[in-house]
């Protein structure tokens, strides 16, 4: 192989056109692009030569799966495929049952190369196209793919790739959920001792996405549907430039579903178990206190001694509604009352806040509507009494806000699915969502025939 490569280089680089291109390159950028093109010209015959060599190796023909007769060689047939080094052509042996049994056609080299009979594009091209498409629209993906590789495919082809790989990712997750429902627990990921010692945080939230009113037609008014999002991550500590302690997420894993909280719960639990839910020294649940997410916590996480934290900023929002009811929200008195009790809540006096709300809810000097509004806030805080001890949480290195999941919603959903003029079908949304989840959860390579075929994506986004 090395001898053959050296021969190709010597032969091709003697070509006057190559020399003229190199000599006329006026800048480093131009020189690099010329060298890049030469590299592709060299790579294609190298690949074709190696495929031809493998095709000529002796072949052991198996028996026909239908009648048991040994397959016979039918000679060599041409094969062509679009790859990152251009269109590659080669010939390989094809075998068939001498009795011509249906479905007995067998191409041993194709099986060894992990390529399908009807496949026209090599998986590394599909992989690069899908990788680009999980970040930018299909039309832009088509343009970038052409700019980066010289390979021209239309946006519809890229959409077909997303559908193909999205279905595969969907089926893989469906198998996991089926196993989980039958009592099978996923194997935990192997983590470093440093990550193992960190607390595990779990959070959930929802975000709205525009959908088509009819699956196969773009006509009609936009329908907004909620996507449930969950995040699981290890909480690491660091010090900012200003010398303040802060939290950094490690080994981040995301889940998302077009559905309700019952659809999210098993997906979140599978990912949490894989992330070390049962072995972590401390596990924290952060949410905005919505009923659905609260039920998820009480049903699945509280029995496992997971610490529940009500997002401080949502709690402060409820406290402001009490201030607005107690003293007109447009007045300085309302703002001062809110500022004082927000400070008390933030710095550990949650009992005092609840007591104050109870006092105001029973105040005879207020109207019934005012007392009723304050009572609702009191009951809300009372129900979350264990989840609003923010000073204690901070001392334990536990975040007081659910910003980690709000950020996940923005990256996972909003940045890709809420562009100008975008409206999704359920099927198209789910296929692309599963590919985005596969990438962020370091499982993107598993969707392709050879996980090493495009090395840049082998670096996990969360390593």
Stretch among 91-95, 239-243, 319-323 having the lowest mean pLDDT: 239-243
Q: Which band of pLDDT confidence, cut at 50, 70 and 90, is reported for residue 63?
A: very high
Say which DSSP state 451 is in: T
Query: Measuring CA to CA, which residue among 166, 86, 80, 167 is closest to residue 124?
Result: 86
Query: Residue 455's pLDDT is what?
Result: 42
Query: Residue 1's pLDDT is what?
Result: 44
Query: Residue 126's pLDDT is what?
Result: 95
Query: Residue 290's pLDDT is what?
Result: 87
Stretch among 20-29, 173-182, 239-248, 376-385 having the lowest mean pLDDT: 20-29
Is the pLDDT at 159 greater than 60, yes or no?
yes
Mean pLDDT of 12-21: 60
Give the torsion through C-alpha atoms of 44, 45, 49, 50, to 10 deg.
-30
Question: CA-CA distances (angstroms) from residue 145 to 38, 149, 155, 254?
Answer: 19, 6, 10, 27
369 membership: H or E segment, kind and range? helix 368-383
Is the pLDDT at 181 greater than 80, yes or no?
yes
Say which DSSP state 70 is in: B
pTM: 0.84
Query: Residue 306's pLDDT is what?
Result: 95
Mean of the per-residue pLDDT values of the chain:
89
Question: Nearest 5°: phi and psi at 86?
Answer: 105, -170
Is the pLDDT at 428 greater than 70, yes or no?
yes
Cα–Cα dist 363/365, whole Å: 5
Segment 92-140, tens digit of pLDDT: 999 999 999 998 899 999 999 999 988 999 999 999 999 999 999 999 9
Taken in order 38, 43, 48, 50, is the CA torsion positive or negative?
A: positive
Q: Which band of pLDDT confidence, cut at 50, 70 and 90, is reported for residue 158?
A: very high
Beta pairing class for 199-211 and 283-287: parallel
Segment 259-293, tens digit of pLDDT: 999 999 999 999 999 999 999 989 999 998 888 99
């Amino acid at each position: 192989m090395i001898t053959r490569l050296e021969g190709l280089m010597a032969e091709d680089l003697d070509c006057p056109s190559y020399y003229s291109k190199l000599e006329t390159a006026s800048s480093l950028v131009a020189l690099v692009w010329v060298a890049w093109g030469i590299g592709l010209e060299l790579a294609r015959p190298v690949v074709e030569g190696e495929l031809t060599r493998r095709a000529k190796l002796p072949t052991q023909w198996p028996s026909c799966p239908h009648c048991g007769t040994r397959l016979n060689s039918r000679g060599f047939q041409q094969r062509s495929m679009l790859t990152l080094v251009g269109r590659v052509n080669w010939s390989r042996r094809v075998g068939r049952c001498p009795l011509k049994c249906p479905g007995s056609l067998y191409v041993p080299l194709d099986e060894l190369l992990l390529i399908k009979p009807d496949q026209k594009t090599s998986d590394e091209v599909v992989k690069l196209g899908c990788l680009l498409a999980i970040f930018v629209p299909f039309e832009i993906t088509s343009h970038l793919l052409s700019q980066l590789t010289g390979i021209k495919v239309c946006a519809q082809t890229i959409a077909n790739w997303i559908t193909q790989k999205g279905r595969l990712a969907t089926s893989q997750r469906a198998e996991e959920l089926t196993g989980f429902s039958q009592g099978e627990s996923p194997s935990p990921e192997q983590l470093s001792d440093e990550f193992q010692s960190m607390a595990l945080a779990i959070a959930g939230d929802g975000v709205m996405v525009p959908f088509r009113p009819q699956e196969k037609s773009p006509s009609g008014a936009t329908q907004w549907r909620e996507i449930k999002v969950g995040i699981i991550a290890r909480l690491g500590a660091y010090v900012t430039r200003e010398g303040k302690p802060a939290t950094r997420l490690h080994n981040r894993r995301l889940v998302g579903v077009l559905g309700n909280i019952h659809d999210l719960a098993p997906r979140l639990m599978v990912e949490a178990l894989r992330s070390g839910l049962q072995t972590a020294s401390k596990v924290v649940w952060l949410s905005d206190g919505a009923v659905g997410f609260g039920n998820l916590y009480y049903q699945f996480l509280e029995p496992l001694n997971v610490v529940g934290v009500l997002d401080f900023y949502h709690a402060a929002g409820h406290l402001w509604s009490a201030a607005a009811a107690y003293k007109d929200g447009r007045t300085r008195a309302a703002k001062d009352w809110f500022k004082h009790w927000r400070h008390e809540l933030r710095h550990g006096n949650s009992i005092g806040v609840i007591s104050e709300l109870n006092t105001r809810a029973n105040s005879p000097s207020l109207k019934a509507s005012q007392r009723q509004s304050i009572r609702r806030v009191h009951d809300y805080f009372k129900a979350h009494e264990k989840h609003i001890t923010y000073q204690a949480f901070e001392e334990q290195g536990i975040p007081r806000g659910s910003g980690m999941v709000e950020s996940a919603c923005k990256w996972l959903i909003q940045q890709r699915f809420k562009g100008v003029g975008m409206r999704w079908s359920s099927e198209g949304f789910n296929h692309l969502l599963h590919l985005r989840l596969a990438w962020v959860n370091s499982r993107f390579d598993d969707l392709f025939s050879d996980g090493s075929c495009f090395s840049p994506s082998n670096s996990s986004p969360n390593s």
